[in-house]
Amino acid sequence: MSRSTEGVEDRIVAKTVDLAEIPIIDFSPFRHGGEAGKRAVAAEIARACTEIGFFYLKGHDVPPKVLGDTFDQSKAFFHRPVEERRASAATLQWYRGWIPMPKREGALDRNSRLFEQYRIQADFPDVPNPDPIFNRPNRWPEDMPAFRDACETHYAAMLALSRDLLRAFAIGLDVAEDTFDGYFDLPICQLSLLYYIPIPEGSDVEVSNTVSHTDEGPLTILAQDSVGGLEVKRRDGTWISAPPVPGAYTINIGDMMMWWSNGKFISNFHRVRNKAGVERFSIPFFLNPDRDTIVAPLPELVARDGGVANFEPVHVATHLKRFYARLEKSPGDFL
Ligand SMILES: O=C(O)CCC(=O)C(=O)O
Ligand SMILES: [Fe+2]
């Protein structure tokens, strides 16, 4: 995630606006509605990606049990005593598993990071890979086999849904439907189980659980519990709430899809502020391409934009490594 450096935007308290601002899109005609259904859904998605970079997706055919099981396991894990959570803690050398909240020193501020995480990444044991950060296996709580099952099932379901979404993006961008297919043979995605504590009452207005940021990869598929707290920046700089919609995923464009689309699709700023007074769970799936993909504005779109490429080509593994290294060096990441 790209962390924004400005602070002023966080001072503007989000106002809840009509949900119409983040559309709820039914994906079923894309798969079951013939060519016309496909094009209509792709057009709706493209509009949302162009205007705000976020949309809700229902009709995705992911069985509710897949999500229910992962939330149940996540809750069970984060409710364990800290010594048991620590048994599957990430280390600087093996950055998968449980990542605690930073130690608190002094007053909370916008960078306080008020959440714990369980991080799961692509796991390709048979593929030679020179980067320790990408070639380590996942860590699992050894005495919770159902935890691993739920996460692996969830990961596979999100990757499958992502493949269809990439096709919808391509159609919406008016390029060949299979434009992105070849970049996702062994994609280095990430699934995070997130556990947010409530922001203490009386905290400064700037305090967030997650600072304002954009996501790094092409797209994120987020499952939220019923608590709410996600906020999305509008073009005019104000913030709106993106509350959970039952049965729908919250989907957003990340930086790499913005680059591929030459800026047509927006990788929008968002943040989490859990003001509900209760704990919150969420599960984002961060789609990433294959490690050696070079992401650059698609030539068809550059041509349409008068030959102007708005972004430089980026090597996926180099970019993500730089990002993870920044995260790893955040002070107090490890208790
Ligand atoms: O938990 C959420 O609602 C959003 C999390 C998020 O934006 C992220 O982890 O990148
Ligand atoms: Fe994010």
pTM of the model: 0.93
For residues 210 and 2, is the Cβ–Cβ distance under 8 A? Answer: no
Pick the atom of ligand 1 nearest to 194's CA.
1
Q: What is the pLDDT of residue 89?
A: 92
State the chain's maximal CA–CA distance in angstroms.
Answer: 59
Residue 2 lies in a domain: no
In a domain, 243, yes or no: yes
Contact by Cβ (8 Å): 170, 260: no
Per-residue pLDDT tens for 11-27? 555 554 444 589 999 99
Alpha-carbon span 315 to 105, nearest angstrom: 37
The per-residue pLDDT for range 238-280, each reduced to its tens digit, is: 889 999 999 999 999 999 999 999 999 999 999 999 999 999 9
Tracing tokens 């999500």 back to the chain, one arrives at 67
Considering only CA atoms, give the Rg of the chain: 19
Over range 288-299, report the average pLDDT.
Answer: 97
Write down the pLDDT at residue 330. Answer: 52
Note the Cα 84 to chain centre separation in Å: 27
Residues with Cβ within 8 Å of residue 269, at least 6 apart in sequence: 4, 9, 212, 213, 214, 232, 233
- CA angle 65-71-74, nearest 5°? 140
Ligand 1 pocket test: pick from 4, 117, 193, 194 the residue with the most ligand atoms within 8 Å of its Cβ.
194
Determine the pLDDT at residue 19. 45
Please tell me the total count of domains within the chain.
Answer: 1
What average pLDDT does the segment 115-144 reach?
85
Q: Rounded distance, CA 74 to CA 100, Å? A: 14
**Does residue 291 sit within a domain?**
yes
Min mean pLDDT across 72-86, 92-106, 201-215 is at 92-106
CB atoms within 5 A of ion ligand 2 belong to 215
Residue 271 Cα to ligand 1 middle (Å):
7
Q: Which secondary structure element, helix H or strand E, spans residue 271, and what is its range? A: strand 270-272
| Integer Cα distance of 274 and 208 in angstroms | 8
Please give the number of the atom of ligand 1 that sits closest to the Cα of 209: 1
Structural domain range at position 48: 7-333
Q: What is the pLDDT of residue 234?
A: 83
pLDDT number for residue 202 = 87
Note whether residue 49 is domain-resident. Answer: yes
Query: Burial of 120 by CB count in 10 Å (0-12 exposed, 13-18 middle, 19+ buried)?
Result: buried
Closest ligand to C-alpha of residue 231 is 1
Question: Position 128: which residue type?
Answer: P
CB 230 within 8 A of CB 242: yes
pLDDT higher for 322 or 311? 311
The answer to whether 283 and 223 have CB atoms below 8 angstroms apart is yes
d(CA 282, CA 191): 11
The answer to whether residue 244 sits within a structural domain is yes
* Ligand nearest to the Cα of 244, by number: 1
Which of 220, 279, 327 to mutate to test ligand 1, by most ligand atoms within 8 A of the CB atom?
A: 220
Q: What is the ipTM of this complex?
A: 0.99
User: 331 pLDDT band (50/70/90 cuts)?
Assistant: very low
Spatial contact of 213 and 9, defined as CB atoms under 8 Å apart: no
The secondary structure of 284-307 as a DSSP string is: EEEE---TTPEE---HHHHHHTTT
* Ligand 1 atom at minimum distance from 270 CA: 7
Is a pLDDT exceeding 50 seen at residue 318? yes
What is the CATH number for 35? 2.60.120.330
Please report the atom of ligand 1 found closest to the CA of residue 230: 3
